[in-house]
Amino acid sequence: MNSCLYPDRARTESNKFGCTHFSDESISSCTKASAVGKYPSIRLSQFTRRAFSVLLDNSSFSIFAILIEKVAIKYHKRYWIRSADPCVQSRKEYLALVSIFMRESLASVENILGRNAVFSRQLDSRRDNKVAGKRILRYCKGFKIEQREDYQNLLQEDKRSRILASFHFGDYIYGMNTLVCLDSPGRERYVLSQKSASVQYFNNLRNGLGARAVDRSSELLFSEIKTPELSARLRNGNSTLVLFCDLPPGFGEHVEIKFLNRMARFSQGPAMLAISNRTPLLPVINYYDGRSNRIALGTQIEPCLNGEETLQAGVNRITQELISFFEYFFRKYPEQWRYVQNLPGYFFTQ
């Protein structure tokens, strides 16, 4: 058995890898600061956006649509500056900051941001627009779940509730939905969401994943559910809760941990929720390796304090483990992180 899911049998390489729904329009709207200086973002008309969306997912011209958008990004050289820091006053300064944090050349950073814009547009299109039944079915079947057997064995051996701690990385939308379909039929599945998902979104899930796809009853709205209710669901046992750990600063309490060899701010919510409810965390990430979409699992993190460790120290330690897991993949595929354009905001104090 692959030991990656079990802390007492973890392989050495697992140590290198170390909240919120698949629908995050509200997150994006909160974190998008107006482009400043003379470098506004690319603003396509609604008609053009709709045309791109249709081309991307519902016709044989998707490759041409992607090429058109790549050319637009290359020649306009305008990116949506979503830095949370008010000191970023120009595109040039913004690119310089991202270059410093990522330790990449300016040319490389521009390339990464351009590919990220295309990647995010495709992601949004598959989520927000109707995708032909056969097409979405084929797409969902293409996900490769690393440690599939280990995850199924974990579900059989450990009936406790579990938090799937994931990130807005790769195709986290269909990837996380694909993973939770492996849960036992009697197991409760929840997704903590910033905003209610559309009917079309759930239709796509049902067409792509079948009867095991989550529906609206699994959706927990962040603005409506109270902490005691969320805790009660976890403490009832045999439940799976999907959370995302990489929301930009400004969403709840945060802690400072090491990221890209610097101190950065990330949400402490997932770690605090796990410890306070004695619920283990399983790091999960989705990524595209150039050939197929993949889902990778890290070592399950037990919600225990070590020795004389304080609650805050335990929260910091667990958050660090989660972000270290994420950082390994971010360094390999930076263009696949939803919030790569927010990078400066993770390091600056507002």
Q: Residue 251: its pLDDT value, please?
A: 78
What are the per-10-residue average pLDDT scores of the chain (350 residues)?
45 33 36 32 43 45 51 45 50 90 94 95 92 94 94 93 97 96 93 89 95 94 88 93 91 91 95 96 97 96 93 97 98 97 84
Q: Is 129 left (phi over 0), alpha (psi -120 to 50) or beta?
A: beta
- pLDDT given for residue 290 in this prediction: 93
Cβ partners under 8 Å of residue 202, min gap 6: 213, 215, 216
State the Cα–Cα distance between residues 173 and 129, nearest whole angstrom: 13
pLDDT value of residue 117: 95
8 Å CB contact between 298 and 283: yes
Alpha-carbon distance values, 107 to 74, 221, 303, 328, 347 (Å): 11, 40, 43, 22, 22
Q: Are 62 and 56 in contact (CB under 8 A)?
A: yes
- C-alpha span between 157 and 135 (Å, rounded): 36
Give domain 3-24+135-334's CATH number out of 1.10.20, 3.40.1130, 3.40.640, 3.30.70.
Answer: 3.40.1130
Predicted TM-score (pTM) of this structure: 0.78
Cα–Cα distance, 294 to 285 (Å, whole number): 8
Structural tokens at position 192:
């903590």
What pLDDT score was predicted for residue 146? 85
Domain boundaries, the chain: 3-24+135-334, 27-132
